[in-house]
Chains A and B, each alone.
Chain A
Amino acid sequence: MKQALDDMDKKANSPADLRVGVYVCHCGKNIGSTVDCEAVAQFASTLPHVTLAKDSLYTCSEPGQEQIKTDIREQKLNRVVVASCTPRLHEPTFRAACESAGLNPYLLEMANIREHCSWVHLHEREAATSKAKDLVAMAVARAVRLEPQFELSVPVKRSSLVIGGGVAGIQAALDMADAGYQVYLVEKSGSIGGRMAQIDKTFPTMDCSICILAPKMSEVGRHPNIQMLTLSEIKEVTGHIGNFKVKILKKARYVTDGCTACGDCIQACPQLAPDEFNAGLSIRRAIYIPFAQAVPSRYLVDMGLCLNNQGIVACDRCFQACTRKCIDFADQDKIVEIEVGTIVVATGVDVYDPTALTELGYGRFPNVITTLEFERLINAGGPSSGELIRPSDRKRPKNIAFLQCIGSRSKRSNPYCSNVCCMNTIKDALLIKEHWPETEVFVFYIDIRAFGKGFEDLFQRARREGVTFIRGIPGEIIEDISNGNLTLLGENTLLGTQYRYTMEMVILSVGIKPRSDAPIVQRLLNLSTDTDGFYMEAHPKLRPVDTTTGGVFLAGAAEGPKDIKDSVTQASAAASRANILMSKGEVKIPAVTARINTDKCVACGLCAKVCPYHAIEGSKELGYYRVVEAMCQGCGACVPECKFGALDQAHFSDAQIVSQIHEALANEPERKIIAFACNWCSYAGADFAGVSRIQYPDNVRIIRTMCSARVAPEWIELAFSMGAGAVLVSGCHPSDCHYNNANQNTARRVEKFWKRLDKLGLNKDRLRLAWVSAAEGAQFAKVIKEMEQGLRELTPDQVLETKQKLAKRVPRKGEPV
């Protein structure tokens, strides 16, 4: 294998020309307080081809970058290694520095000694330092095998798709349309407006919600650059950043454009159903308009409810009632195909259903309602025309209780704080006090979170207006059947006394959660979700509206619970990010594509079969296959499939990775765990373990690939025949792969390797396959801890046996011996 490595090296620069500069960053105390950075730099200077090695307090700072640039120019460096944070954070920074000094940016390599070292071995200075040295040695070995790469530019279509017509989607659509781009706004329901249209007033300013939203909705409706598709759902997304092809299912509305929303049809319709917009508190007909201010201002027919289901016209009363004859029972669903350069996801949230919390009686006691129901109840356009009445007897309640954190901050429902409920309750309490000042209002809470601008003021105002805040959520609600009143049992934790309050109405301040169909959009766009099910941003601080899928941006509560102001802010940010791409008109794609050496290719076609993007073309007749670079996304799934060594991946070449394995196992290999981690999920997951300071054993050495499908069985074999204690192959969860399920190849290859180990009578537990998402730092740490446990039971004989049995294999055809 050593020979193979040398052979591969021959292709690269001749050793004499190589001049590597190593920069070890202290990152203030983040690395420096755990890792002895000076010692690491000193060690680096002893490595082959290293011309200079320095440590600095902040390598990413302006002086730090200047130093690199100066050294490239003056010391004639042709490779740069920065040992600092994760490449997912500062690789672009240092690449830019190299480029400005005239060095190809792909000749930079980073050693992750913060997220993967100092932060996860906080209290083990010696072990962390020794690990940092290994990581630097691995990076240097890889650096000397790096080759210059040139990125391909692809054009970006000047049009955008916005998914979701709530306030975030509306804002993003308007911003992009105003900037001059064509926007397609897709909304699942019959009208745009979303949750904001349902709310009575907004906090903390107490504006009328629909009054400020309706003008924006109309603007969308008449904007020349916006095409609105209501009753529509995304069915398929293909292509990539700059050029997405999207199939949209536009469901039949059964009412034509001629509709003037006169409403003559409603009285004629015999079919009734609960009105979703009024949270089920009123009824609507089968033909209906979602709400008065709906955009488009057109009726629609709920075919599930209409008597004319499945094309048979049994009832035409609405048709008869319509003077303009706008009802068309023959209307059909259709597929609309569009091409866009960017996508903004603004799918919003559902509210928590508290029925499962039986002790609160929601669904059994008519006077226990949710905050969303209450919003409709006190809205002038709502079921009671804005009168404050309670459901059981339609009388105005004399006292009302709000219960906070229902369905939030709980392992039984949503573990996170829903962000908006505290202020929403305070706003509602004030509204009650404003219109019906004699009403007593009690708020039962755990913590009041009034963190935003103007929030604390509103909270104090509510207290001054006489709203009583009681710390302690009731354990139980008892209904008095004679009058529908509700008795709340609980403890006032600040007084340390038990209470019993009798209330005429109880409002459950329910939390918000990702839309039930959020996973569908997630799969269509290859997005990641956090452990709570919200879409994950590319970086929580610095790329908060980007996703890991290029050209796709997030807006509104789909990314995490947020109020209207934050949703609008984020929507404008997402639009602005998309505008950058579209105004530039082109985007560079990373030069990590696969390449085929046509001399070695025997045209077997196996690589083309595993390519998730159909980016490999060729035939037996032609005599070879080749990669279409603009279509290749750089997963590398094809490379291990080639049995003739004809394939390799730019920037993640066999020689580069093999050299990392060699360095990682140079000392005490039997103690080491080689962990292959995919860039999008598992490497990010390991980063997240670092950010969360989750401590795990120091003997793991992580090697990054773009996709776990790039991991070649030969690498696993090499690691074991060098005496590695264990090998981990980790990637995204099967349905979350960023390369169109390329990681099914990972599973297939690992399973095959297990079988081989089994056949040879070797312990297959030493090779582990683990799916770790970007949010699962704890899971990554857990896997490593378990593997470390396994290493402790490993005997030297077992290591030796594996080494010998695996080393004995016959080299494959076309492979250097």
Chain B
Amino acid sequence: MTVKLWNFFPREALYECYQCARCTGSCPALEVAEALGPRETILKCLNLGHDEVVEDERLWVCCTCNVCEDRCPQKIPISDLLVALRNSAARRGNIPDKLQIAIELLAKTGRSMIVHQLDEMRAHHGLAPLMPVPIDEVREVLKKTKLDDVIEF
């Protein structure tokens, strides 16, 4: 697992961080919730190892807005780091329920959401029924990428 994580994100980039906190200073999630900001994430990866981070539920408290990376004076690819850590967390079962349900739906239907009486609603706006998703193809692809290692579908 460790090897994979640092394959995705260059570990050396972490050493560029000097903890200026511009990332956390502009983080909307930290402003309103108990989140694990990028600064602390990087520091923990460096000093305590990433296991500590991967097991932390606060890792998911994030807007994915990428403003941290935009503000980082050292151009650390923070979004890549967070994707790598969360992928790793999900594999270990650290994944929010809401997200798990959303991905199960995506894998089953090929869409992020469903509603009742969709055709009627679209007709109200003068629109034809929505083209169906080639769901078999989607499921085959997701099987091959081994999504079911993380989430069963």
Q: Do chains A and B touch in the complex (CB under 8 A)?
A: yes
Q: Which residues of A contact B (CB under 8 A)?
A: 359, 405, 409-413, 446-447, 471-476, 489-491, 493, 496, 498
Q: Which residues of B contact A489 (CB under 8 A)?
A: 25-26, 31
Whether A498 touches B73, Cβ cut-off 8 Å, given contacts A490-B21, A493-B21, is no
Is the Cβ of B73 less than 8 Å from the Cβ of A410?
yes
Residue from the list A412, A447, A474, A498 in contact with B18, Cβ < 8 A: A447
Residue contact B25 to A412, C-beta cutoff 8 Å: no
**Which of B20, B67, B74, B75 sits near A472, CB closer than 8 Å?**
B20
1/0 contact string of B127-141 vs chain A (CB within 8 Å):
000000000000000
CB within 8 A of A474: which of B25, B37, B39?
B25
Contact digits for B7-48, partner A, Cβ 8 Å, 1 yes 0 no: 000000000101111111111001100000101100000000
CA distance A496 to B39 in the complex (A): 10
| Cβ–Cβ < 8 Å partners of A496 in chain B | 40
* Complex contact A359–B71 (CB within 8 A): yes
CA distance A177 to B113 in the complex (A): 83
B20-A446 in contact (CB<8A)? yes
**Are A490 and B25 within 8 A (Cβ)?**
yes
Q: Which residues of A contact B75 (CB under 8 A)?
A: 411-412
**Chain A proximity of B6: nearest CB distance (Å):** 20
Shortest A341–chain B CB gap in Å is 45
CB pair B30 A473 closer than 8 Å: no
B32 to chain A, nearest CB (A): 10
Q: Contacts of A493 on B, CB cut-off 8 Å? A: 19, 21, 24, 39
Find out whether the CB atom of A498 lies under 8 angstroms from the CB atom of B24: yes
Question: Shortest Cβ distance from A47 into chain B, in angstroms?
Answer: 43
Which residue of A is nearest B76, CB measured?
A411
- CA gap between A475 and B40 in the complex, in Å: 15
Note all chain A residues with C-beta closer than 8 A to B67: 475
The winner among B22, B24, B31, B39 for most chain A CB atoms within 10 A is B22
Docked-complex contact A410 and B39, CB < 8 angstroms? no
Q: Check A409 against B25 for contact (C-beta < 8 Å).
A: no
Q: How many A-B residue contacts, CB cutoff 8 Å?
A: 62
Q: Whole-angstrom distance from the CB of A294 to the nearest CB of chain B?
A: 38
Does the CB pair A446–B31 fall under 8 Å?
no
5 example contacts (A-B, Cβ-Cβ < 8 A) are as follows: A410-B74, A474-B22, A475-B24, A475-B67, A493-B24
Once bound together, how far apart are the Cα atoms of A474 and B71, in whole Å?
Answer: 10
User: Smallest CB–CB gap between A500 and chain B, Å?
Assistant: 9
Known: A409-B73, A410-B74, A411-B73. A473 touches B25 (CB 8 A): yes
Knowing A411-B73, A411-B74, A496-B40 touch, does A475 contact B18 (C-beta < 8 A)?
no
Q: How far is the CA of A161 from the CA of B63 in the complex (A)?
A: 60
B contact residues vs A (CB 8 Å cutoff): 16, 18-27, 30-31, 37, 39-40, 67, 71, 73-75
Contact A359 B18 (CB under 8 A): no
Q: Which residues of A contact B27 (CB under 8 A)?
A: 475
* Contact residues in B for A490 (Cβ distance below 8 Å): 21-22, 24-25
| Pairwise interchain contact B19-A446, C-beta atoms closer than 8 A | yes
CA distance A411 to B13 in the complex (A): 12
Interface centre among A405, A411, A489, A491 (most CB of B within 10 A): A491
Q: Are A491 and B74 in contact (CB under 8 A)?
A: no
Query: In the complex, which of the residues A410, A413, A447, A498 contacts B31, with contact meaning CB atoms closer than 8 Å?
Result: A498
> Which residue from A405, A411, A413, A475 sits with its C-beta under 8 Å from B25?
A475
Bound-complex Cα distance A475 to B39 (A)? 12
- Nearest-CB distance from A758 to chain B (Å)? 37
Q: Give the top 3 A-B pairs by smallest Cβ distance, nearest first.
A: A475-B25, A475-B26, A490-B25
Chain B, residue nearest A492 (CB): B21
A501 to chain B, nearest CB (A): 11
The answer to whether A446 and B18 touch (CB under 8 A), given A476-B25, A490-B24, is: yes
Question: Given that A410-B74, A411-B75 are known contacts, is A473 also in contact with B20, CB under 8 Å in the complex?
Answer: yes
A687 to B19, CA, bound (A): 33
Distance to closest chain B CB from A124 (angstroms) = 22
**CB–CB B37/A491 < 8 A:** yes
Contact (Cβ within 8 A) B71 A491: no
User: Which A residues lie within 8 Å of B74 (CB)?
Assistant: 410-411
A491 to B40, CA, bound (A): 11
Q: Give the docked Cα–Cα distance between A410 and B30 (Å).
A: 24
Q: Within 8 Å CB of A472, what residues of B?
A: 20-21, 24-25
* Complexed CA–CA distance, A496 and B73 (Å): 20
Contact yes or no, B19 A475, CB < 8 A: no
Cα–Cα distance between A409 and B18 once the two chains are bound (Å): 9
Q: How far is the CB of B131 from chain A (nearest CB, A)?
A: 41
Residue in A closest to B26 when the chains form the complex, CB atoms: A475
Whether A475 lies near B71 (C-beta < 8 A) is yes
Cβ–Cβ contact A491 & B21, under 8 A:
yes
Give B75's nearest chain A residue, CB to CB.
Answer: A411
Residue of A nearest to B21 (CB): A472
Name, among B19, B23, B25, B71, the residue most crowded by chain A CB atoms within 10 Å (CB to CB). Answer: B25
Contact B24 A491 (CB under 8 A): yes
Question: Measured between C-beta atoms, what is the minimum distance from A436 to chain B in Å?
Answer: 28
Closest CB in chain B relative to A750 CB, distance in Å: 34
| Shortest Cβ distance from B19 into A: residue | A493
**Chain A residue contacts of B40, Cβ below 8 A:** 496
Complexed CA–CA distance, A471 and B21 (Å): 8
Q: A413 to B21, alpha carbons, bound, how many Å?
A: 17
Q: CA separation between A742 and B71, bound complex, in Å?
A: 44
Q: How far is the CB of B34 from chain A (nearest CB, A)?
A: 11
CB-CB < 8 A to B20: which residues of A? 405, 446, 472-473
A472 to B67 Cα, complex, angstroms:
17
Residues of B within 8 A of A498 (CB): 24, 30-31
- Complex CA gap A760/B39 in Å reads 58
> From residue A801, how far is it (CB to closest CB) to chain B in Å?
39
Residues of A within 8 Å of B31, CB to CB, are 489, 498
B27's nearest neighbour on chain A, judged by CB, is A475
CA distance A215 to B99 in the complex (A): 72
User: How many Å lie between the Cα of A358 and that of B80 in the bound state?
Assistant: 24
Complex: A474 Cα to B67 Cα, angstroms: 13
Given contacts A411-B75, A472-B21, list 16 more A-B pairs with CB under 8 A.
Answer: A405-B20, A412-B73, A412-B75, A446-B18, A473-B20, A474-B25, A475-B24, A475-B25, A475-B26, A476-B25, A489-B31, A490-B21, A490-B25, A493-B19, A493-B21, A493-B39
